[in-house]
Amino acid sequence: MPYYVCPMQKEDVAQVTAIDREAFPTLWPPVNYQHELQNKLAHYVVACKDEGIVEESKAEVSTGRGFLHLMSRVRRLFDHNRFFSNKLPPSAKQYIVGFAGFWMMAGEAHIINIAVRESYRRQGIGELLLISIIDRALELNAQIVTLEVRVSNTAARTLYSNYGFVQVGLRRGYYSDNREDGVLLSTEDISLDSFQSHFQQLKQAYSGKWGVALSHHITL
């Protein structure tokens, strides 16, 4: 699978914002990812293509300074000995296919969002991002990982259930666009052997399905 995960940088904000608007067009106000990069509680990662070409975004958004065009050609970005990387070649610009982020507060890693470009969905990228978030939460000594998901989003709820998330609450009218309820999900203590054993099995299954070798975490 020609994708890798690395920390979000300021150069990624335009592409991440475009993906956010494509994935969550009715949610308001939109997230200001430039500010999120300066938020000490926030941790964001991006999933990128393993090819050395940045394509022009089909979902460009206005940032107040006009439209940002994302065309350029870059060198190959991926070291095949590592799946996750935090180093890019000088002047390289990666093509982002998805992103995810969470806030770390009092031992809880609360996932803010996981989003994938529409044309790259159903290729395991969302699951890859979830794995990277859990790995990063472990590195930050989080005890649990939590999130909200729409009641109607059965595909996402199934994925989260597979990774040990269980319903711990229901937030009525949580989503501002249509007042849909949000299901609050949480893991058990992710440092427990029971969680770790299951998580490692899932990572091995993912690796076998998509033909990649996963590192144990990303380094930020």
> For residue 64, is it within any domain?
yes
| Residue 78 is assigned to a structural domain of this protein | yes
Determine the structural domain holding residue 54 and report its residue range: 3-210
Asked whether residue 139 is domain-assigned, the answer is: yes
Tokens 């940032």, located at residue = 63
Domain assignment present for 218? no
**70 Cα distance to chain centroid:** 20
Q: Is residue 59 part of a domain?
A: yes
Does 20 fall in a domain? yes
| pLDDT per residue as tens digits for the range 88-141 | 433 347 899 999 999 999 999 999 999 999 999 999 999 999 999 999 999 999
Q: Is residue 219 part of a domain?
A: no
Residue 9: inside a domain, yes or no? Answer: yes
Provide the number of structural domains found in the chain: 1
Active site residues: 148, 160
Which of the residue ranges 4-8, 52-56, 123-127, 175-179 would you say has the lowest mean pLDDT? 52-56
94 Cβ neighbours under 8 A, 6+ residues apart: 6, 12, 46, 48, 49, 54, 74, 77, 88
The CATH number of whichever domain residue 132 belongs to comes to 3.40.630.30
